[in-house]
């Protein structure tokens, strides 16, 4: 296979072909990494993570008021080293559980730059987050506003809060990740009057400092103008609350959701250009509404870590059912990547140790679980004689793979190895069988 034909299949520019015919990721031989660390194996390109952070930071500095901040959405991939990198890159963070709060705090992250999400924070969650020094709560409902007030009152403290609203926007992405519609489980709908109601409630609390609002409209957004539309709706609502209630919001969090390339057919997205477009709409809307431009937050998660990730597997078997279909089985599967089972997600899958060879076999790439739905991808091109011991790479797995991994079928979760310009290091150890029974009694 010619070099340009191979490269045409790559969704990310940190993939290359080595002179030895192996797939290289972040400048390193994936076949050698598989031999060194074993498979299944999560790889993360640390340089790419930092580059993606700096893209957001530069765009924010150029487009938004001072004090605006991109927040890394830890649900995409959370472990201590990720939070250390976010601290070094001067990012804020979006946390959605006490587990993420604990992990970030253990990593030494400044929790004043943490925003705490969730549609059902328990009283224990609220207390834990305040103990940890979380800077801003993103309150999802009236019950939570009252719980925050009660806990802050106990402490004689004032807690910064923003309110999550639903602007009523359909992103035309997966229904499971479309969160901005009026009937979403998240937030308070503007259209129904509930957004105004919760604003009044929050303003009435003695121990809550209401800063502004939050919305999130969905994930894998490419060409749609949903961020611009959301900005218009949110600013117009903020201006209305200023007229009605005398409340001038100083912070608007537009959430996350920019798309990433899982296959070569996906669009190439320029984050800087997209943020500039949102900024233009935001400022024009503020001018029309005679409303001061607020500080802006956004919550990139997938677009920070997805294309920095790649997962390696070892082939166990090739099953050919004459006249029907073919299966290539690997030593991982839905426990380490459940996204095809959940969303029918597309992935680029490559034979890493034979990347330069012609691929005349089409097969389903399937996992080792006792589950018919344990599929990583359908209709994958492979060398005709792919065999036991070959290495398969699944690209763009830095987001929602490790963070959604399970021990289904009692399988240990893979290690995560960070790749740098100077080499590689283990960031998350491979689970052992002892780990599987550690909590058993």
- The per-residue pLDDT for 177 is 44
Question: How large is the average pLDDT for residues 279-302?
Answer: 98
The full set of domain ranges for the chain reads 3-45+307-436, 117-300
pLDDT tens digits, 31-68:
999 999 999 999 999 999 999 999 999 999 999 999 99
Distance CA(248)–CA(210), nearest Å, equals 10
Question: How large is the average pLDDT for residues 92-110?
Answer: 98
pLDDT tens digits, 266-285:
999 999 999 999 999 999 99
Distance CA(369)–CA(159), nearest Å, equals 46
Q: In what helix (H) or strand (E) does residue 43 lie, and over which residues does it extend?
A: strand 41-45
- The per-residue pLDDT for 179 is 47
Output 342-346 pairs: Cβ under 8 A, ≥24 positions apart: 342/176, 343/174, 343/176, 343/177, 345/262, 346/262, 346/263, 346/266, 346/377
Beta strands in 255-352 (DSSP E): 295-298, 309-321, 325-330, 349-351
Query: Which residues are 417's β-sheet partners?
Result: 43, 426
Distance CA(194)–CA(183), nearest Å, equals 12
- Cβ partners under 8 Å of residue 37, min gap 6: 415, 417, 424, 426, 430
pLDDT tens digits, 156-190:
999 999 999 999 886 554 444 444 456 768 899 99
Given this chain, do its domains 3-45+307-436 and 117-300 carry the same CATH topology? no
Whether residue 295 is predicted with pLDDT greater than 50 in this model: the reply is yes
Distance CA(236)–CA(241), nearest Å, equals 9
For the domain made up of 117-300, give the CATH fold.
Answer: TIM Barrel (3.20.20)
Which two structure tokens, joined as six digits, stand for 35?
């031999």
- The per-residue pLDDT for 222 is 87
- Residue 437 exposed, middle or buried by CB count within 10 Å (0-12, 13-18, 19+): exposed
Residue written as token pair 């506003």: 145
- Residues marked active site are found at 370
Q: What is the mean pLDDT of the chain?
A: 95
* Pick among 2.40.37.10, 3.30.420.40, 1.10.10.10, 1.10.3720.10: CATH of 3-45+307-436: 2.40.37.10
| Residues 281 and 228 sit within 8 Å (Cβ to Cβ) | yes
| Residues 99 and 121 sit within 8 Å (Cβ to Cβ) | no
Question: Do strands 361-366 and 375-382 pair parallel, antiparallel, or not at all (unpaired)?
Answer: antiparallel
> 213-234: buried (b, 16+ CB within 10 Å) or exposed (e) per residue?
bbbbbbbbbeebebbbbbbbbb
Asked, as a colleague might, if the bond just before 40 is cis with ω within 30 of 0, I would say: yes
- Cβ partners under 8 Å of residue 333, min gap 6: 366, 367, 368, 369, 374, 376
Distance CA(146)–CA(153), nearest Å, equals 10
- The per-residue pLDDT for 175 is 46
- The per-residue pLDDT for 69 is 98
Question: How large is the average pLDDT for residues 429-435?
Answer: 98
Percent of the chain with pLDDT over 70: 96
pLDDT tens digits, 220-252:
898 778 999 999 999 999 999 999 999 999 999
């Amino acid at each position: 296979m010619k070099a340009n034909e191979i490269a045409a299949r790559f969704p990310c520019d940190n993939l290359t072909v080595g002179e030895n015919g192996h797939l290289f990721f972040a400048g390193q031989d994936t076949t050698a990494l598989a031999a060194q660390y074993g498979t299944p194996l999560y790889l993360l390109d640390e340089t790419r993570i930092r580059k993606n952070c700096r893209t957001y930071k530069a765009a924010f500095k150029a487009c938004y008021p001072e004090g605006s901040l991109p927040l890394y959405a830890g649900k995409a991939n959370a472990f201590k080293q990720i939070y250390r990198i976010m601290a070094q890159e001067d990012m804020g963070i979006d946390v959605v559980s006490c587990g993420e709060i604990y992990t970030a705090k253990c990593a030494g992250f400044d929790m004043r730059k943490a925003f705490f999400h969730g549609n059902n924070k328990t009283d224990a969650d609220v207390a834990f987050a305040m103990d940890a020094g979380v800077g801003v709560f993103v309150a999802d409902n009236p019950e939570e506003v009252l719980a925050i007030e009660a806990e802050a009152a106990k402490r004689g403290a004032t807690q910064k809060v923003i309110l999550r609203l639903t602007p009523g926007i359909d992103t035309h992405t997966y229904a499971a990740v479309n969160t901005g519609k009026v009937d979403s489980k998240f937030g308070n709908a503007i259209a129904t009057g509930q957004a105004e109601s919760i604003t009044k409630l929050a303003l009435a609390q003695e121990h809550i400092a209401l800063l502004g609002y939050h919305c999130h409209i969905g994930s894998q957004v490419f060409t749609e103008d949903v961020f611009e539309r959301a900005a218009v709706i949110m600013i117009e609502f903020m201006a209305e609350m200023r007229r009605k209630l005398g409340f001038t919001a100083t912070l608007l969090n537009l959430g996350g959701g920019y798309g990433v390339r899982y296959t070569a057919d996906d669009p190439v997205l320029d984050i800087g250009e997209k943020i500039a477009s949102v900024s233009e709409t935001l400022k024009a809307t503020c001018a029309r509404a005679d409303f001061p431009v607020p500080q802006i937050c956004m919550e990139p998660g997938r677009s920070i870590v997805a294309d920095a990730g790649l997962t390696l597997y070892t082939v166990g078997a090739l099953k050919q059912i004459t006249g029907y279909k073919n299966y290539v089985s690997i030593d991982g599967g839905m426990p380490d990547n459940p996204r095809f089972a959940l969303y029918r997600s597309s992935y680029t899958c490559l034979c890493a140790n034979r990347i330069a060879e012609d691929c005349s076999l089409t097969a389903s790439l399937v996992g080792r679980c006792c589950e018919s739905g344990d599929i990583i991808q359908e209709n994958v091109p492979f060398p005709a004689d792919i065999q036991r011991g070959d290495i398969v790479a699944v690209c763009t797995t830095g987001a929602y793979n490790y963070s959604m991994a399970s021990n289904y079928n009692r399988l240990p979760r893979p290690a995560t190895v960070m790749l740098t310009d100077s080499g590689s290091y283990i960031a998350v150890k491979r689970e052992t069988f002892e780990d599987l029974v550690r909590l058993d009694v």
